[in-house]
Amino acid sequence: MSESPSSSPALPRATGPGGVRPRRPGRIVIWLGAVVLLAVAALVAAAVIPGSHHPVGDDAVAQRAVAAPTPSRDGPVRVKKVFDSSISAKRYGTQVAQMENGYNASGPVSDLSPLPVSAFDRPVAVYRRYAERWAARLGHDVVPLTVALRAGNRGLARRDWATAFSDYLHLGAVYGLLPSDLNNDLAGMPGEIGDPHFIGLHRIEMGLWTNQPVTSLAPLGAKLSSAVQRLRAELPSTAVDPRSSRVRLARGLVAVTVDPLDFTLRIHEILEDAQRDFMSGLDVPWSGAGVLATAAGVAATKELLSTVKPIMAGRGDAYGTSEYWLHRLGRVFDSIRRRDGGYPSLHQLTPDQLELIDGTLAGTLTALEQVPGTLETKTFTTFPKIPQGEATTK
């Protein structure tokens, strides 16, 4: 059979692997090309942006060059004046720096306007009445303690001692305002165990928790009763007078250095002392009644803080913060109180309870430390007048 002259040999069809015909480039190639062009454009733009071609090392060198001072032919540049003033830095720079940082020679200085000294009259009077009530309660509770000592009942005497000790600590801010011999007769600590002048609550504590015959402590109970009677007689006329540097005692005027701020310092000093002396067991080495003592300190601090609430209004958040932490600390002590109303001794606390007390007490003290500055009565000490011609003193 002959081939048709119009037919031509069939060309083989191109196929890919497996005999599958590959797709034409078409749109995919165009899309890929556009992506490549965009990438190239981005690189070109980065190259022409000012500073973009500097390596990291060059940036660090440039920053050091800017920060470094310009060298002087005469050596290092020395500051001679307080910045932006003609005040001699050599003579007055320290005082200016203290003022700018909120400090003077006595410590932090409040930015608030100082309070008038008379603002403390009512808080002091309110607290004095509070202290008088607790002194009366102490006098009442010392009676059953003395009876228990005479009866030789150690368990009952320990319970009554704890009540009387708590009463005394509720007085709070009267420390330092009473004659030293009266303080010692009430709750002095011994210079040594055999000190013949060691009487009062802590001497009874030592006897009750060291197995000393209870009846032998009865004379100490009688002496304690006498000291409380003297306290009640003197306390109404013992008060800080913010307008004079005196403390009025029943037997006359005794010159002392008293500042209105002393009253507010006691608001946080009570619990500072409790943290140092009672929670450590230092001042209750026999009974371990540090929790009881600190709880009484919380109550006294709450009372002190409440007396200054009216004059702290509008002077920052120190009052609200302190009130919150005191309430929180009070709840901690409530949570560990026994069913009979007493508190565990320090050695009876669990590690978790001790940690909770210590942590909450620390937070409370941090808040209370802001109170004295809020109630400042003085402005920053004025700078000495700069004599004429000293503005350029080197």
**Integer Cα distance of 178 and 254 in angstroms:** 11
**Res. 390 pLDDT band, cuts 50 70 90:** very low
The residue type at 223: K
Here the tokens at position 78 are 């020395």
296 Cβ neighbours under 8 A, 6+ residues apart: 165, 166, 169, 170
**Res. 243 pLDDT band, cuts 50 70 90:** very low
**Integer Cα distance of 349 and 335 in angstroms:** 12
Question: Best-predicted range by mean pLDDT among 40-54, 99-113, 163-177, 276-290?
Answer: 276-290
Q: Of 143-157, 189-203, 355-369, which range is least confident? A: 189-203
For residue 34, the Cα-to-chain-centroid distance in whole angstroms is 66
**Rounded to the nearest 5 degrees, what angle is found at the Cα of 122, between the Cα atoms of 120 and 128?**
100
pLDDT tens digits for 140-171? Answer: 999 999 999 999 999 999 999 999 999 999 99
pLDDT the model gives residue 9 = 41
**Integer Cα distance of 121 and 259 in angstroms:** 13
| Backbone CA torsion sign across 225, 228, 234, 236 | negative
Query: CB of 336 within 8 A of CB of 292?
Result: no
Here the tokens at position 217 are 């402590």
pLDDT tens digits for 71-102? Answer: 445 555 556 665 556 666 665 556 555 555 44
Beta strands in the chain (DSSP E): 103-104, 107-108, 246-249, 252-255
pLDDT the model gives residue 163 = 97
pLDDT the model gives residue 329 = 98
**Res. 19 pLDDT band, cuts 50 70 90:** very low
**Integer Cα distance of 183 and 264 in angstroms:** 21
Determine how β-strand 246-249 pairs with β-strand 107-108: unpaired
Q: How far is CA 216 from CA 8, 197, 219, in A?
A: 141, 16, 7
**Res. 225 pLDDT band, cuts 50 70 90:** very high
DSSP-based three-state secondary structure for 241: coil
Query: CB of 145 within 8 A of CB of 164?
Result: yes
Mean pLDDT for 315-332 is 96
Longest dimension (CA), the chain: 155
* Residue closest to 177 by CA, chosen among 209, 135, 214, 145: 135
Other Cβ atoms within 10 Å of 344 Cβ, number: 17
Mention the CATH class of domain 117-374.
mainly alpha
pLDDT the model gives residue 63 = 45
**Res. 235 pLDDT band, cuts 50 70 90:** confident
- Average pLDDT of the chain? 75
Residue that wins the pLDDT comparison between 374 and 238? 374
Mean pLDDT for 12-32 is 46
Mean pLDDT for 321-337 is 97
| Backbone CA torsion sign across 29, 31, 32, 37 | positive
Per-domain boundaries in the chain: 117-374
pLDDT tens digits for 245-278? Answer: 333 333 333 333 345 667 888 899 999 999 999 9
Q: What percentage of the chain has pLDDT greater than the value 70?
A: 59
pTM, entire model: 0.66
pLDDT the model gives residue 40 = 55
pLDDT the model gives residue 38 = 62
Residue that wins the pLDDT comparison between 98 and 350? 350
pLDDT tens digits for 287-305? Answer: 999 999 999 999 999 999 9
pLDDT the model gives residue 17 = 40
- Radius of gyration in angstroms for the set of CA atoms belonging to the chain, rounded to a whole number: 40
